[in-house]
Amino acid sequence: MNQEVLENSYRTSVLLWSNSTPTSSDILRNYFTLCCCVRSYLKCFCNQSFGCLFFSAHCQCQQGWREYETKCYFFSTDVKSWMEANAFCLEHNSNLMSIQDIHERVRPTSKHTHKKIYWMGLNDQVSEGVWEWSDGSPFIEYLFWMPNQPDNWQNEDCGHVVGSSYGQWNDENCNIKRKYICKHVNRKSAH
């Protein structure tokens, strides 16, 4: 996006700081770097000492994605191996879903995964038994595993979420074809 288009766009838009506080375009022009949404994904190039500014009207989940709190989720209808699903998510500026708390475990998965199994970003491919999220977010050992899981039965290094078990996790062979959930952070959580 060139500078002229960007300047004309923000003159007619409502601008908000990442904490939703309104601001003026003069402040933006003189002091801060603008964050803009490109193809419905937040792309920020911000002055880190002041935070991020964005167009409130343009930063929404892409069509086909579902918004929950500060994140956008894509629930696939096709099936892929864990690696193929991870590549698809990365191509769409997202990652396989990571789960950071009980609310994220229950809300997105319970409404859309009933009786279905979806790949998520959990894996121990680097070191057996050391689980990590593909997006690099911290893995905290919650009690989200199904009973007696993970068990690494037949080389199971990738995690999926089971909708019929209230979003519990299971480990599985990464080459199995499953539906998958991609996640990206939307405008509300930029900083």
**pLDDT at residue number 47:** 38
Q: Which CATH superfamily is domain 66-189 in?
A: Mannose-Binding Protein A, subunit A (3.10.100.10)
**pLDDT at residue number 6:** 39
Closest CA relative to residue 35, chosen from 15, 60, 65: 15
Q: Which residues contact 87 (CB under 8 A, 6 or more apart)?
A: none
Q: Could you tell me if 159 and 179 are in contact, meaning their C-beta atoms sit under 8 angstroms apart?
A: no
**pLDDT at residue number 43:** 40
Q: Which residue has the tokens 């022009």?
A: 29
Q: Are strands 71-75 and 95-96 parallel, antiparallel or unpaired?
A: unpaired
Q: Which helix (H) or strand (E) holds 162?
A: strand 158-162
Each of the 191 residues of the chain gets a pLDDT tens digit; together they read 434 433 444 433 444 444 445 554 444 443 333 343 333 334 443 434 444 544 443 457 889 999 888 889 999 999 999 999 999 999 999 999 998 877 776 666 656 656 689 999 999 999 999 999 999 999 887 668 889 899 988 889 999 998 766 678 999 999 999 999 999 987 544 43
Domain regions of the chain by residue span:
3-55, 66-189
**139 is written with which tokens?**
């893995």
**pLDDT at residue number 172:** 96
**pLDDT at residue number 104:** 73
Q: Are strands 117-123 and 132-133 parallel, antiparallel or unpaired?
A: antiparallel
**pLDDT at residue number 74:** 94
**pLDDT at residue number 102:** 74
Q: Which residue has the tokens 């375009």?
A: 25
**53 is written with which tokens?**
């500014």
Q: What pTM does this model have?
A: 0.66
